[in-house]
């Protein structure tokens, strides 16, 4: 910023931390100097023609599969959740994240979704025939 400071000595004089009380003063000076260069725009200030945001909440129950996984996660960690002293915070957060995953992305659990019809590499031809048969009979 050559327009603000003529040389490095002037910069050092403005922002020297010679004593402990000078730190707050230096921060205030930095805010004053940098404020004209900072651009902060908020969407509602810029796009005034937009209508206000409207939020609609839909409450939808869990599917049968999600309910089964939800109960499964709770059963697996029931002994941890029922401890006399209470569960560890990290363990509790992990259980909550697993329950959240059941609600939002249940197919991320191993075994939640039926796997491919074949597991080996030698099987693509029968699968191809099955797909071809299904396509031709549509």
2-59 pLDDT per residue, tens:
566 677 777 777 777 776 667 777 778 778 877 777 777 777 777 888 888 888 988 8
Given this model, what pLDDT does residue 100 score?
92
Given this model, what pLDDT does residue 77 score?
79
pLDDT at 101 over 80: yes
Report the distance separating Cα 124 and Cα 64, nearest Å: 32
Write down the pTM of the prediction: 0.45
Domain boundaries, the chain: 8-44, 56-129
Given this model, what pLDDT does residue 127 score?
59
Phi/psi for 116 (5° steps) reads -65, 160
Conformational region of residue 86, where left means phi above 0, alpha means psi within -120 to 50, and beta covers everything else? left
Name the nearest CA neighbour of 78 among 65, 70, 112: 70
Report the distance separating Cα 22 and Cα 28, nearest Å: 10
Helical residues (DSSP H) of the chain, grouped into ranges? 8-14, 22-34, 43-46, 64-76, 78-81, 89-104, 124-136
């Amino acid at each position: 910023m050559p327009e603000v400071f003529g040389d490095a000595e002037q910069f050092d004089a403005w922002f020297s931390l010679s004593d402990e009380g000078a730190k707050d003063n230096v921060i205030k000076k930095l805010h004053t100097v940098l404020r004209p260069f900072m651009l902060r725009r908020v969407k509602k200030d810029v796009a005034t023609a937009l209508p206000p945001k409207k939020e609609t909440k839909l409450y939808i129950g869990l599917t049968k599969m999600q309910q089964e996984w939800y109960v499964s996660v709770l059963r697996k960690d029931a002994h941890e959740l029922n401890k006399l002293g209470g569960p560890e915070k990290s363990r509790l957060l992990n259980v909550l994240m697993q329950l959240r995953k059941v609600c939002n992305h249940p197919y991320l659990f191993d075994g939640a979704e039926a796997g491919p019809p074949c597991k080996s590499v030698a099987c693509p031809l029968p699968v191809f025939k099955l797909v071809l048969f299904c396509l031709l009979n549509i």
